[in-house]
Amino acid sequence: MVAPSMVLIAIVALWPIIYAIWLSMHEYSLRQAGLSRWASPAGFGNYQDALQSAEFWSATRVTFIFTIASVILETILGLAMAMAMHSAFKGQGLLRTVVLVPWAVLTVVTAIMWKTIFDPNLGFVNSLLGTSTVWLGQEPHALMVMIFADVWKTAPFMALLLLAGLQVIPGEIYEAAKVDGATAMQRFRKITLPLLMPALLVALIFRTLDALRAFDLPKVLTNGANDTTTLSLLAQRTFQENRLYGEGSALSILTFIIVMAVSFAYIRLVGGNIRGMTEE
């Protein structure tokens, strides 16, 4: 019974990756047809080209700045939202629903939304700040808008995961700490944070891996202009728009390796949890 789905997953997930590795080690020629186009093996030439290109390192830098900044902001904001939702018993139902709206909005729509909000004429950001900044048209600003859009879309998701974590912490622990004279800050640091850690780490993994492969936001917001080209966007542009299949595949594989390295680092960090999730 497991077989059909495993075969499908193997064919469509594992096999293309093997094919991508093969593509990345060959030079593509537009002059010949079919498989013979791949007549010239290039060894690690495509990887060498990629690793020596300024574009690759710039995309890596952008991807990491975007990931680190948005994940940190999302975690702080998500935690604050989760704690507010946890305490506000009256409004909790409303909040749970409202918070799902950004999560349900498509990423492409999120990009269009923030484009209109930061638009120099149409948006309210400039009228609010009394400026006339062309936000998406200059360098640090465009990436800031991208981070902001990502935080808006995913902080609520973080909040829901963390709220579920908060709700399993028994209230008696807080009572006992209060009786012993612990301050609110002490209760947060010594009780909430450690007990929330498992939920927090899982949320962090999900979000980090998601942010590392960001494509939709930069594609629609700026199409990679003004220092917003992420690794996925660079790879996709290389093989689709420029038809450099070998180099595009090499970039894809490099992105894949980076994402896998980060996820292995996380799994080492929280190994017990992942195992707990898959064990019976």
Partner 1 sequence: MEAASVEQTRPAVKKRRKSAVGADPSTPWWMWFAVAAIVIFCLLPFYWLVNISLKTGPDLSSSDIFPPNPSLDNYTSIFENSAFTRALANSAIVSLVTTFLGIVVGAFAAYALARLKMNGKAILLGVVLSITTFPQIAIAAPLFRLWSDIGLYNTLIGLVIPYLTFALPLSIYILVSFFREIPRDLEEAALVDGATYFQAFRKVVVPLAAPGLATTAILTFIAAWNEFLLATTLTSSQAARTVPVAISQFTGSSQFEVPLGTQSAASVVISVPLILLVLLFQKRIVAGLTAGAVKG
| 180 near partner 1 (CB under 8 A) | no
| 126 near partner 1 (CB under 8 A) | yes
Q: How far is the CB of 46 from partner 1 (least distance, A)?
A: 11
Whose Cβ is closer to partner 1: residue 33's or residue 54's?
33
- Return the residue of 39, 108, 184, 269 that touches partner 1, per CB under 8 A: 108
| Listed residue (132, 137, 110, 129) closest to 121, CA to CA | 132
Residue 163 near residue 86 (C-beta atoms within 8 A) = yes
| 97 near partner 1 (CB under 8 A) | yes
Q: How far is the CB of 189 from partner 1 (least distance, A)?
A: 18
Phi, psi of 8 (to 5 degrees): -60, -45
| 72 near partner 1 (CB under 8 A) | no
Alpha carbon of 277 to those of 45, 71, 188: distances in Å?
41, 23, 26
Query: Rounded distance, CA 231 to CA 245, Å?
Result: 15
E strand or H helix that includes residue 59: helix 54-87
Q: Which two tokens stand for residue 16?
A: 């293309």
Q: How far is the CB of 52 from partner 1 (least distance, A)?
A: 20
Please name every residue paired with 212 in a beta bridge, in sequence order, or none if there are none: none
Total site size for partner 1, rule CB under 8 A:
105
Site residues for partner 1, window 242-261 (CB under 8 A)? Answer: 245, 248-249, 252-253, 255-256, 259-260
| 113 near partner 1 (CB under 8 A) | yes
